Amino acid sequence: MTKKQEAKIIYQEISKMYPDAKIELNYQQKHELLIAIMLSAQTTDISVNRVTKNLFSNYKTIEDFAHANISDLESQIKNLGLYHNKAKNLKKLAQMIINEFNNQIPKTQKELQKLPGVGRKTANVFLAEYYKIPRIAVDTHVSRVSIRLGLAKINDSPKVVEEKLMKIYDKDKWIDLHHKFIHFGRYFCKSRNPNCKVCPLLNICKMPVID
């Protein structure tokens, strides 16, 4: 079986398991999406949603975040990892959007990555989710699944994993693939205690079976 054939089977099987996979961060406005993605670094979407429920009630606009008191922001997001840095980046991000981007969130990856706290993954998720621009955002789940299933190598950086996935899968599948791989990695092919023995991709997986 060729790598392309394996990749097709992987997509088909994970699609059967998670046909309706989509982003699990809660948001209503464009800036809320960007902020939620930024806050999700090194923490769970569930934790972010708990925090943003009140955060977005108290800070309704980019201007509100730009004029926020850092101590108050920290207290609002203190249950998240790296909350000191995230609070600082959140205020700076809002100020930069107002001062350098005419109060408009950038629409390009290059410009988005100029914003404090916004890296490649955050920019990719935002562009794919809000503007439906084909992207594959590689987080720990996507990376782990790709490596275990032989679509990437163990030492590949997230950017290399992204490039390999984009090369092997058609562009119209990129956004959907991203969501399905995240769900598969988050709920089934977990870092600890993956469900190897009942995995439909066991014959393709390059990792030893984990009891």
Catalytic residues: 121, 139
Give residues with Cβ within 8 angstroms of 192, minimum separation 6: none
